[in-house]
Structure 1
Amino acid sequence: MIVCPNCNHSNPDGAQTCEACYTPLPATATCPNCGATVQTDASFCGQCGFNLKASRATEEIFAGNIGTDMGAEIPELETPEPLVEPQRLVISAQSGAETSSQSYLAETPTSQTESPESTQPDSAATSGSFKTQLQQQTIKLLHVQTNTSVELPQNLAVIHIGKPNDRVPPDIDVSGFPNSEIVSRIHADIHVEGDAYYIEDVGSSNGTYINRRPLQPGDRHRLRAGDRIALGKGDLVTFLFQIS
């Protein structure tokens, strides 16, 4: 069947004009692989996918239509020189070491030969795998009156601040600081939630002050670097919240 390029009407094989619109139909030929009818200008057979252009080129060569002299000598191709010099792989293992080192030595001309010291691998490369150290933040309370730093305990969700007692032992004991008598035994808590730190007064007698403002019992204040925490009135026991 020949499909009209103008109206897509299917015409019988051998037709030269479309039966529906009278448009001249393209010339057809037979696929040399499967025998199906194909257009003469087609590149591939629609039935079996055979490469019709390659087949036509082969036929033209043997028919002498493209001016190819079959008796002409074909010049030999020159082998190009390699762009990169070949390399020699040298693997050296150190006895008694946990890891072995590998060094790659390139073949170089004698005029550019380097000294033995230059071919030695870097000591850092043979010292084993590098360890990546993750820096962790250190949270501290700086006592203003004595310039003493108190590091907050790690891995605690709640850090109790106060003085020794039988009910809730303090994680940060302020009994050794001057004027600690104004600090309650159970004075304040610091809650750790991810990277955030919140301070809460838990019913102290003289209150907790953040940046010289009273913190109401039950309220929580998110601490930021530089916040001033006063335990009790008069700003006598004061800490600065620090992150380093």
Structure 2
Amino acid sequence: MIVCPNCNHQNPDGATQCEACYTPLPSTMSCPNCGTTVQTDASFCGQCGFNLKASGAAESPETPASMSGSDIPDLDPPDPLIEPEPIAGNSPPSTPNPQPDPSADLPVTQVGQSGTTTEAAEKIAPPPEETAAPPPPVATPKSGSAKTQLQVQSVYLLHLQTQTKIELPSHIRVIHIGKPNDQIPPDVDVSGFPNSEIVSRVHADIRVEGDTYYLEDVGSANGTYVNHTPLPSGDRHRLRTGDRISLGKGDMVTFLFQVS
């Protein structure tokens, strides 16, 4: 049976157009390993996980137009930077040190009644030396004070049918979603969830590029849906918080992409 990607109507094998909505159907072929019907542009068999690309059984998917470099517009070269002119500092004119009054250190004389001159014993007292102020006390943190902690971003999938959180590993760049098999072991194993029989052993991948996550269907038998829209095999979707991911038709194995 060929499932229509538009209305999920099951059409007989060999049909080229949906009987219900007249949507063109994708071409299919038989897996050379197990004989299961798969799409001709699939990379792996959704039933046995056989590598269709290595065997030459399926043609390589064309590069999406959105990935080609010809659609990237040429940007105008930026203007050269202009070096700023140095600004002369407005430094205040230097003021010469005032000369000390030579009479400040001389003794004061007074004329007595007899006409003789007497020297004053009192002189100008020198100013008291300034005492350096003690440094302020250093506050010692208490043993029970809270320490600053770095916030780490957590990315996970929330299974809606069981409200189970599956945290995505942060040390790998390609996260495989599926069920246990001999070719590509899954990083996110969904075999323990209800209705997991509609999920292929090699179903979908999540690719991590920096802080961005992309979802890609790798040739599953029942397809991958994002927000109820089928994701064509070979294309990828940039995931955002709250995106609804359905593995297979019928919305029976559903996850929410969450970032906290």
Q: TM class by shorter-chain length?
A: 0.5 to 0.7
Which of 171, 185, 210 is residue 169 of structure 1 equivalent to?
185
**Structure with the higher fraction of residues in strand conformation:** 1
2: distance between equivalents of 1:70 and 1:242? 83
More helix by share: 1
How far apart are 1:70 and its partner, in Å?
A: 10
Superposition deviation, residue 154 in structure 1: 2.0
Q: CA deviation at 1:71?
A: 10
Q: 1:178 to 1:70 in 2, by over 3 A?
A: closer
Relative to structure 1, is the Cα distance of residues 158 and 72 closer, same or farther in structure 2, using a 3 angstrom cutoff?
same
Aligned partners of 1:77 and 1:205: how far apart in 2?
104
Aligned to 1:202: 218
Which amino acid is the alignment partner of residue 127 of structure 2?
T
Deviations 1:112-137 (A, max 9, x none): xxxxxxxxx6452xx59996432211
TM-score of the aligned structures, taking structure 1 as reference length: 0.52
- Corresponding position of 1:216: 232
Q: Secondary structure at the match of 1:153?
A: coil
Correspondence for 1:15? none
Indicate the RMSD between aligned Cα atoms, in angstroms.
3.7
1:220 and 1:132 map into 2 onto residues whose CA distance is 38
- Note if contact 2:104-2:124 (Cα within 8 Å) is conserved in structure 1: no
Larger relative contact order (Cα-Cα within 8 Å, sequence gap ≥ 6): 2
Provide the rounded CA distance (Å) in 2 between the counterparts of 1:104 and 1:243: 45
Q: Which amino acid aligns with 1:240?
A: L
What does 1:62-101 align with in structure 2 at a 5 Å threshold? 73=107, 76=124, 78-79=126-127, 82=130, 86-87=133-134
Match of 1:133, SS state, is coil
* Secondary structure of 2:184's aligned partner: coil
Report the TM-score when normalising by structure 2.
0.49
Aligned with 1:231 (options 229, 232, 247)? 247
Structure number with bigger Rg = 1
**Structure 2: segments with no counterpart, 5+ residues:** 1-95, 109-122
**SS of aligned partner of 2:172:** coil
| Pair 1:191 & 2:207 matched | yes
Structure 1, residues 191-232: CA drift from partner, whole Å, max 9, x if none?
Answer: 011111111000001111111111111111111110100000
Q: Which sections of structure 1, spanning at least 5 residues, go unmatched?
A: 1-53, 59-67, 90-102, 106-120
Secondary structure, counterpart of 1:181 in structure 2 = helix
Amino acid at match of 1:242: Q
